[in-house]
């Protein structure tokens, strides 16, 4: 296993480019199962999760080539409708092959994804939506078995106790593209990644209205054809890079960062005292001399403050000049980074879905352990600003969702090295 060694205290300077969006690419890869024709996906990030999904697709019957951030896919003759545990368990997002397999083969057998460190991660909304489309759903031996002689359009309310669901919206939307009649999804997720999936499906010939709003309307078609598509830049990586520049008091041009996808984050960073200039296809982070102001945050479904930026924001608040309250409304247990930040001298107290952060002047470098993708990023940010050396172990978590992050940061002047554990 690899670890990252970070020497803190260097203000980042220069320009960096954001990679394509992981959370856009993964459901779009699943959507290629809806056609027997060739698809080409551009701006695909080279990540562990990308490879995991491609392995699953190959098992299901899709041959692929992945070169220079472009993936070309076409059927390989196999027509399997079962996604086995060993492939789904490695990455929860694999569960979004359920909708496409059901729509294509009228049956599917997909392993339940199981939970992960940030929470239980139920799939009840996925199953509710698909059964409303006419699928019979059984849970047997850890697998979801879905069958439908015919999928019929339906009016589906897809809100759960934590609000809308990104991948449940994706699963149901993909299945509805080949159902007979019209499907309405109320309380659909509005994330830019859901919009990207809808736009890819429309390029394949799907009929969809309302993407980006809580009210989606999908009119079923007979079949979908192949398509070429470029996925959007990764707004979570963009936010992470902007915050790396801010926390080190540097000056960085974050290219391909789309401000319109990050308004809630940019507003909170502005409240905390960061200076940046929003440009057409970039965000320029300007040097700030002041410490961050304490700023409260509540994570919410898009367009609210994203849960995937909560851990990184906590790092910034841990060196602010006051007390901030961070409320995690999407995954109330998503606080594995608290103990690790406190090992670096941070003063964070967790109370259920709340974390109270008492800002301190300076974190101290220490050996810390990554627990999940975004917590890893928060620990790297902490290492960039801490006094001394920080060793972040188990960074295979980081590699799931950040493409060569240490190289991007090193190119901005950070003292950061990847070494074998």
Residues 329-348 that bind ligand EPZ (CB under 6 A): 330-331
Residues 27-86 that bind ligand EPZ (CB under 6 A): none
Q: Which parts of 17-143 fold into alpha helices (H)?
A: 22-31, 48-60, 85-88, 98-105, 124-132
How many CB atoms within 10 Å of residue 214?
17
Residue number with CB closer to ligand EPZ (229 or 292): 229
At 321 the three-state DSSP class reads: coil
Q: How far is the CB of 225 from ligand EPZ (least distance, A)?
A: 25
Tell whether residue 261 is a contact of ligand EPZ (CB under 6 A). Answer: no
Q: How far is the CB of 124 from ligand EPZ (least distance, A)?
A: 5
Cis bond leading into 327, ω under 30°? no
Measured between alpha carbons, how far is residue 280 from residues 20, 236, 242, 261, 374 in Å? 17, 18, 16, 13, 27
Alpha carbons 87 and 95: distance in angstroms, whole number: 10
> Binding ligand EPZ by CB under 6 A: which of 32, 35, 94, 165?
165
> Using the rule CB under 6 A, is 373 a contact of ligand EPZ?
yes
**Residue span binding ligand EPZ (CB under 6 A) among the ranges 67-75, 141-149, 159-167, 409-417:** 159-167
Task: Give the whole-angstrom CA distance, residue 83 versus residue 60.
Answer: 7
Q: Which is nearer to ligand EPZ, 122 or 210 (CB)?
A: 122
Judged by beta carbon, residue 368 or residue 373, the one nearer ligand EPZ is 373
Identify the residue among 19, 177, 295, 307 touching ligand EPZ (CB under 6 A): 307
Nearest 5°: CA angle at 208, between 207 and 210? 155
Q: Which of 11, 160, 212, 413 touches ligand EPZ by CB under 6 A? A: 160
The closest alpha carbon to 368, from 357, 381, 351, 356, belongs to 381
Confirm or reject binding of residue 313 to ligand EPZ (CB under 6 A).
no
Judged by CB under 6 A, which of 13, 38, 55, 121 binds ligand EPZ?
Answer: 121
How far is residue 277 CA from its own chain's centroid?
25
Residues in the chain: 421
126 binds ligand EPZ (CB under 6 A): yes
The candidate with the shortest Cα–Cα distance to 212, out of 303, 82, 100, is 303
* Residue of 96, 116, 190, 362 marked active site: 116
Of 93 and 381, which CB lies nearer to ligand EPZ in the complex structure?
93
Taking CB under 6 A as the binding criterion, the range among 120-128, 263-271, 313-321, 347-355 that sits at the site for ligand EPZ is 120-128
Based on the residue annotation, tell me whether 116 is a catalytic residue of this protein.
Answer: yes
Residues 192-221, mask of contacts with ligand EPZ (x by CB under 6 A): -x----------------------------
Q: Which of 124, 186, 267, 407 binds ligand EPZ (CB under 6 A)?
A: 124
Do β-strands 367-369 and 415-420 pair in parallel, antiparallel, or remain unpaired?
unpaired
Q: Which two tokens stand for residue 287?
A: 């040097």
- Cα–Cα distance between 317 and 346 in angstroms, integer? 9
Q: Footprint of ligand EPZ on this chain (CB under 6 A)? A: 23, 26, 93, 119, 121-126, 160, 162, 165-168, 189, 193, 307-308, 330-331, 373-374, 401
List residues with catalytic annotation: 116
């Amino acid at each position: 296993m690899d670890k990252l060694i970070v020497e803190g205290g260097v203000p980042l300077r220069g320009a960096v480019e954001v990679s394509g969006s992981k959370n856009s690419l993964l459901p779009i890869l699943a959507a290629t199962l809806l056609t027997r024709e060739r698809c080409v996906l551009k701006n695909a990030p080279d990540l562990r999760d990308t490879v995991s999904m491609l392995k699953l697709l190959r098992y299901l019957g899709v041959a692929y080539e992945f070169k220079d951030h472009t993936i070309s896919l076409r059927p390989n003759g196999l027509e399997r409708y079962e996604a086995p545990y060993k492939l789904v368990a490695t990455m929860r997002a694999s569960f979004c092959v359920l909708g496409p397999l059901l729509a294509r083969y009228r049956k599917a057998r997909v392993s339940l994804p199981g939970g992960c460190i940030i929470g239980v991660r139920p799939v009840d909304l996925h199953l509710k939506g698909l059964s409303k489309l006419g699928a019979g759903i059984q849970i047997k031996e850890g697998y979801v078995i879905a069958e439908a002689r015919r999928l019929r359009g339906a009016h589906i309310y897809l809100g759960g106790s934590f609000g809308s669901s990104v991948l449940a919206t994706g699963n149901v939307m993909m299945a509805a593209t080949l159902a007979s009649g019209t499907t309405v999804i109320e309380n659909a997720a509005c994330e830019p990644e859901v919009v990207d999936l809808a736009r890819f499906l429309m390029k394949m010939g799907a009929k969809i209205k309302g993407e980006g709003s809580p009210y989606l309307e999908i009119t079923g078609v007979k079949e979908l054809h192949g398509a070429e598509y470029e996925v959007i830049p990764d707004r979570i990586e963009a936010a992470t890079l902007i915050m790396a520049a801010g926390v080190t008091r540097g000056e960085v041009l974050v290219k391909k960062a789309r401000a319109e996808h990050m308004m809630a984050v940019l507003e909170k960073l502005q409240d905390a005292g960061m200076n940046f200039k929003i440009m057409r296809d970039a965000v320029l982070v300007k040097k700030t001399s002041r410490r961050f102001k304490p700023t409260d945050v509540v994570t919410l479904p898009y367009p609210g403050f994203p849960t995937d930026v909560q851990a990184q924001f906590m790092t910034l608040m841990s060196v602010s000049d006051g007390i901030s309250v961070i409320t995690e409304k999407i995954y109330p247990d998503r606080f594995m980074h608290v103990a690790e930040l406190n090992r670096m001298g941070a003063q964070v107290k967790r109370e259920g879905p709340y974390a109270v952060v008492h800002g301190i002047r300076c974190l101290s470098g220490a050996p810390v352990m990554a627990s999940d993708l975004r917590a890893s990023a928060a620990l790297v940010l902490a290492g960039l600003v801490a006094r001394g050396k920080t060793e972040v172990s188990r960074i295979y978590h980081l590699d799931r969702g950040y493409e060569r992050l240490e190289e991007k940061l090193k190119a901005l002047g950070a003292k950061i090295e990847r070494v074998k554990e």
